[in-house]
């Protein structure tokens, strides 16, 4: 299969804030969300508990988000959720996730039940695919998976969001932080090269307790990509995500598509719906404001540069 970097998709502007930038909330977690809940009589919570939490999260957070990412399994039924705020875009997860109990996702595939007809039935405004990138020479498999996803998005007629999560080679481990940071950049270069509307990346250069490298690494990632990119929050301490995200935007990111950094501390609350309103809503408002402010600063700097260059040409 050849690279898909010439495939044209609709503009992702419907997923963005009015002034530019993306403030998107991920509520597509599945078994990982189940494990966030406390055990009930020694057993994991049932599917209905997941659906109720997602419904409450959609109702509380979608009025603030520019888009909400949902899964077919527990976030959607057969139609656009009634709780999803009018004007907020719906991103449909098109991936199946594979992992052992209590372990991170090891592999993904295209969900066979996310068809063109299903995406149109639920009113999806965009599709998203998670890809695990490993230093194991399996680029051909990744290319085939991404190609199938891009073909689906093209048939549905929606923008495509491609998410890359890096892992060390099978049986190996990261040599150091630098090794992982370089992998994030290589994964972005490879995966975005197949073609997508938006690339979703782990926060470049992030080390727990230290965001000093994020802007520099984000600038490097921006230089590699020809499409807008956003950061995810998995792997980032909740208290550090806002600062890390702003550093990434200052380095060229266009915002975020994050879940855990917004709502993870509400899951174990005795009244999750109330906790979402009291803690997650203000947190999301703050993140949204940060994206708008950072985007405005970047646009202003860009406009000043253009005016400066025009002045130089006029005086020459």
What the block records as the tokens of 93 is: 């997860």
**Residues whose CB falls within 8 Å of the CB of residue 118, separated by 6 or more in sequence, listed in order:** 72
Distance of alpha carbon 284 from alpha carbon 61, whole angstroms: 8
- Among the options 14, 54, 128, 200, which is catalytic? 200
For residues 94 and 110, is the Cβ–Cβ distance under 8 A? yes
Evaluate whether 3 touches 195 at the Cβ level (below 8 Å): yes
| 312 included as an active-site residue | no
DSSP H or E stretch at residue 56: helix 47-61
Going by C-beta distance under 8 Å and a sequence separation of 6 or more, which residues neighbour residue 237?
Answer: 208, 209
Nearest alpha carbon to residue 285 among 23, 90, 58, 88:
23
| Terminal CA-CA length for the chain | 50
Cα-based distances in Å from 313 to 235, 308, 310: 47, 9, 5
Q: Which of 37, 25, 33 is nearest to 230 (CA)?
A: 25
Residues 281 and 157: their CA atoms lie apart, in Å, by 32
Q: 257 forms bridges with which residues in the sheet?
A: 24
Active site residues: 200
């Amino acid at each position: 299969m050849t690279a898909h970097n010439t495939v044209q998709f609709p503009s992702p502007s419907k997923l963005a804030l009015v002034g530019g930038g993306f403030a998107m909330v991920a509520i597509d977690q599945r078994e990982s969300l189940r494990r966030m809940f406390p055990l009930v009589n020694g057993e994991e919570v049932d599917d209905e508990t997941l659906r109720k939490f997602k419904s409450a999260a959609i109702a509380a957070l979608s009025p603030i988000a520019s888009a909400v990412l949902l899964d077919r399994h527990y976030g959607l039924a057969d139609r656009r959720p009634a709780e999803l705020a009018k004007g907020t875009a719906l991103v449909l997860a098109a991936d199946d996730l594979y992992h052992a109990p209590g372990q991170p996702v090891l592999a993904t595939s295209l969900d066979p039940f996310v068809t063109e007809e299903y995406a149109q039935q639920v009113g999806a405004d965009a599709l998203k695919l998670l890809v695990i990138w490993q230093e194991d020479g399996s680029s051909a498999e990744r290319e085939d998976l991404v190609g199938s996803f891009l073909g689906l998005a093209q048939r549905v007629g929606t923008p495509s969001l491609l998410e890359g999560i890096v892992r060390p080679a099978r049986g190996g481990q990261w040599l150091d932080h630098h090794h992982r940071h370089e992998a994030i950049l290589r994964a972005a270069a490879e995966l975005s090269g197949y073609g997508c509307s938006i690339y979703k990346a782990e926060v470049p250069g992030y080390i727990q307790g230290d965001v000093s490298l994020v802007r520099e690494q984000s600038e490097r990632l921006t230089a590699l990509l020809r499409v807008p990119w956003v950061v995810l929050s998995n792997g980032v301490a909740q208290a550090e995500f806002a600062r890390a995200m702003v550093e990434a935007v200052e380095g060229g990111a266009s915002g975020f598509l994050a879940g855990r950094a917004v709502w993870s501390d509400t899951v174990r609350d005795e009244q999750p719906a109330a906790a979402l309103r009291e803690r997650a809503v203000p947190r999301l408002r703050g993140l949204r404001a940060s994206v708008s402010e950072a985007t405005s600063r970047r646009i202003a700097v860009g406009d000043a540069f253009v005016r400066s260059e025009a002045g130089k040409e006029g005086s020459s």
